[in-house]
Structure 1
Amino acid sequence: MRFALLSIVNLREVPFISLLIYETDEHGISTVIGEISKPYDDFIDLLDDLNVYEINELQTDSKELYRELMSAQFPVIYRREVEGTREQITRNKEMLVELFELDKQDEQPTPVIPIWRLWCINKLEKIIQILKTKELKLDDN
């Protein structure tokens, strides 16, 4: 039997799925067989992942996911805290930031200078050039 622990953890304002997959042997001993951390896009992709990994039961600390999984009739248990899922994201934080390029800042477009300002700048530059070329004599009063 396979069961999983699931949390959604925000990493640099991006929601990530943290999924720990366990398999229970015939003696009742559970061992971790998979750890998945990836950005959470939508619920359908999550359901596909749960079916691909043949998960029979899920425990989550997300009320939103709990409601959605219940409406999809997936066997799910809500717990206030799920052990290990948040630590998985924390442990792999640097790798996830680099892998999914979360540290790239949003590129700011260069500001556009209005035409009237360009016109004024051009005129002022011409005045500066004229003043530099003319030798002004100072009165010694």
Structure 2
Amino acid sequence: MRPIVIANFEYVGAERFIVTLLYDGSDELLDTVILPCETPVEATIIIRRLAERYSIASPVVWTSDTALYGEMLSKPGYAGAIKHKSDTSITRRVIEQESEILRELYGIEAPAAEPKPVLPKWRSWMLRPLRKLVTKLEGDGRYEI
């Protein structure tokens, strides 16, 4: 079986990265490359360099990104295959695992926590008797819970 490169664009904050994973013929992970990348042209160059590092003439590339797939079709030497997102979900998992390191390396700010909305009056009106009931059931603080 031929080596496979799984490649997708993923985001950390507003920064776009290309995530590429190279598997050998026996489905063992050989290499993972995560680099900032804005265009599919840059991504194909990164994939080509990764393949050349391991002496792969024509890499089989799985992707869920249609723009990246289209770029691979327009260039010789790529055996591109468009796959369902579930087939390439490993790229999302990798970027989630490495997101903190990438934030530090590239100075990406963590997203600000959104403030919680104010509880509507009708809900607080409904909750008041329920909270009283819970305190009575708990024994008004007489028991350790």
What's the TM-score, normalizing by structure 1?
0.65
Q: Percent identity?
A: 18
Correspondence for 1:75: 79
Name the aligned partner's letter for residue 83 of structure 1: S
- Report the Cα offset of residue 75 of structure 1: 1.0
Displacement after TM superposition at 1:38 (Å): 1.4
| Residue in structure 2 matching 1:61, options 59, 64, 80 | 64
Quote the Cα distance in structure 2 between the aligned partners of 1:46 and 1:9.
12
- Which stretches in structure 2 are left out of the alignment for 5+ residues? 111-145
What does the per-residue CA deviation read over 1:23-71, in whole Å, with 9 as the maximum and x for residues that have no partner?
A: 11xxxx2200111111113333322222222251000010111111111
The answer on whether the counterparts of 2:17 and 2:34 sit within 8 Å (CA) in structure 1 is yes
CA RMSD for the aligned pairs?
1.9
Aligned amino acid, residue 103 of structure 2? V
Aligned residue among 95, 99, 102 for 1:96? 102
Of the two, which has the highest radius of gyration? Answer: 1
Q: Higher mean Cα deviation, 2-11 or 85-94?
A: 2-11
Q: Give the Cα–Cα distance (whole angstroms) in 2 for the partners of residues 102 and 45 of structure 1.
A: 21
Instruction: Give, in whole Å, the separation in 1 of the partners of 2:64 and 2:40.
Output: 15
Task: Say yes or no: does 1:39 pair with 2:43.
Answer: no
Match of 2:6 in 1: 5
Q: Give the counterpart letter for 2:23 in structure 1.
A: Y
Deviation at 1:99, TM superposition (A): 0.6
**Aligned pairs, number:** 101
Show CA shifts across 1:65-97 (max 9, x none): 111111123210001211311000000110001
> Which segment drifts farther, 39-48 or 58-67?
39-48
In structure 1, runs of 5+ residues without a counterpart are: 105-141
Partners of 1:48 and 1:8 lie apart in 2 by 14
Q: Deviations over 1:7-29 (max 9, x none)?
A: 111111111111111111xxxx2
1:18 aligned residue: 19
